[in-house]
Chains A and B, each alone.
Chain A
Amino acid sequence: MADLATTQRKDQTEPARLDPYQIRADFPILATVNRFGKPLIYLDSAATSLKPQAVIEAVDGYNREYSSNIHRGIYELAERATGAYEAARAKTARLINAPEPAEIVFVRNATEAINLVAYSWGRHHIGRGDSIVLTEMEHHANLVPWQLVVQEKDGDLEFVPVTDDGLLQLDVYEVLLHLRPKLVAFTHVSNMLGTVNPVREMVEMAHAAGALVLIDGAQAVPHAPVDVQELGADFYVFSGHKMLGPTGSGALWARRGLLEAMPPFMAGGDMIREVHLRRSDWNEIPYKFEAGTPDISAQIGMGAAAEYLMALGMESVRAHERELTRYAMEVLPREVPGIELYGPAAELRGGVVSFNLPGIHPHDVAQILDRSGICLRAGHHCTMPLHERFDLAATARASFNVYTVPEEIDALAAGLRDVVRIFDR
């Protein structure tokens, strides 16, 4: 652990250092033990994050104190609920530096946000022969909705390949942009390789070619500063439950002009201004896209999560997780003979480390580690094409968050040595 302290640079711009041990006290679940009495070692934050007390209380507060529908009632409870819901929208906007809260559409998760764009924008702008450029490292959520669009509209999908080091091949990207795609959609941070893509450069290139850009920020917003204005993207999507918020919360950000021009995704209450028997007028944004009663408490919880993260400081969050990643990539190969790590160097990635032990299926790895209280993801992590690209049936994945400490990576290394021992006996 000594090297963790010494590798920290001591210059003026250094973000305040997080104290993960203090942060852990904010997460009640970290005080629990498994069926063997082992404390929780949660290394699956890329699937969903744990929730701090502030988020739990925000959700609980709505249910206990002012449970009522939003944008409807004129009594005190309803005004409180509407106020809290809209405050959550403003906090979410602030987290990604959106120009205005009205450009934040609340959805269940990043998947729903991409589907919204695919249905509402894609089906009206992608025509016969039009192409959409994606990458080989997309989560199925940023692949399958576009497959449906091009199947229906007779368009084409093109893919930016991934190098053996887990980086996007930007020279091929440049060539693909000559096809004048209508849309380019890619992930900010890979959920399997951890690769942080050069999104700003990629957005500039896409815009120069006349394409709109959608960025899947599900693995970025929880872990690093994101400024949608600086990135210059057109659509940016993320989930609340991966950024310390509740499941069932998420957001789509898009530029006002785009949202205003897009037809509704789902129809019903709250998304209309006037309804007549044979026609209706749409409400203003973002309500046009929020039909029916949403998951009010989850979105209020997402707002609390945004506030919690901003209080920690996203620069500090990024620095903490980068240190952990560096530590894991140093310790695991040293302590676990034969382990194979995938993806780029620690400097080029977020807090995700995917790996395999030779001759041992990741499911067996995860099963044995479970006994030690270690929660690890095993499988293809919703990136089957990327696993095919590397000729892998599956991988095991450790992923980190603000509450992760180096001792947990040491425990992972010890656990993996046990796995090797069990299989080698």
Chain B
Amino acid sequence: MDDLYRDYILEHYRRPHNFGVLEAPTASYEGSNPLCGDRITMMLGIADGVVREVAFTGRGCAISQASASLLTDEIKGKTVEEVERMTPDDVLDLLGIDISPARLKCALLSLDTVAHALADDTEEKAEEKAEADGSASGAQSH
């Protein structure tokens, strides 16, 4: 029996939860782990500051896929702030197995990708806001 490849990890690998695409995600990001070629695209549907929908696609090792499956289950229904506060340890707790340093990047690719998707989302919103403010002030000066 292998400590790492427990039944539930392999189950999440074979039949990952939330695997697929969202029609109209409000935030998405493609993350990759250049060392092993793992690639994950995270798609989030955020409304009123809450993650209402989440889906992911991609290919990778059992650890990275199981981690994405578990994490997407976990963040569904959470507020953006709650998700942003999640730490690597939270993900390792979800996985519930001992991850060697060489595999940490596999285990944490999903959280890293979610964080990037949220950061892009915030940035875009800020830009939109700045643009809106800019055109508003521009209009005033004329």
Contacts and interface: CB of A to CB of B under 8 A. Distances in A.
A422 B62 CA distance: 12
Contacts of B63: 363-364
Interface in A377-425: 378-380, 384, 387, 392-394, 422-423, 425
B36 A379 contact: yes
A393 B38 contact: yes
Contacts of A371: 2
A367 interface: yes
B5 A368 contact: yes
B60 interface: yes
B106 interface: yes
Given A361-B60, A363-B63, A363-B103, A387 B37 contact: yes
Contacts of B61: 361-364
B22 interface: no
Given A363-B106, A387-B37, A393 B59 contact: yes
Given A422-B2, A422-B5, A364 B37 contact: no
Nearest to B32: A393
Contact of B37 (A367, A379, A423, A425): A379
A12 B64 CA distance: 55
Nearest to B9: A364
A328 to B, nearest CB: 23
A423 B7 CA distance: 9
A424 to B, nearest CB: 9
Contact of B36 (A361, A423, A425): A361
Interface in B1-60: 2, 4-5, 7, 10, 35-39, 59-60
B35 A367 contact: no
Contacts of A362: 36, 61
Contacts of A384: 37
B34 to A, nearest CB: 8
A44 to B, nearest CB: 13
A303 to B, nearest CB: 33
B57 to A, nearest CB: 13
A367 B59 CA distance: 17
A360 B35 CA distance: 17
Interface in B59-115: 59-63, 100, 103, 106
A379 B103 CA distance: 12
A364 B38 contact: no
B100 to A, nearest CB: 8
B2 A363 contact: no
A363 B104 CA distance: 12
Contacts of A387: 37
Given A364-B62, A367-B103, 19 more contacts: A361-B38, A362-B36, A363-B36, A364-B5, A364-B63, A367-B100, A368-B2, A368-B5, A371-B2, A378-B36, A384-B37, A387-B37, A393-B36, A393-B59, A394-B36, A394-B37, A423-B10, A425-B7, A425-B10
Interface of A: 360-364, 367-368, 371, 378-380, 384, 387, 392-394, 422-423, 425
- Closest CB pairs A-B (n = 10): A361-B61, A393-B37, A363-B61, A394-B37, A364-B62, A364-B61, A363-B36, A422-B5, A379-B36, A380-B37
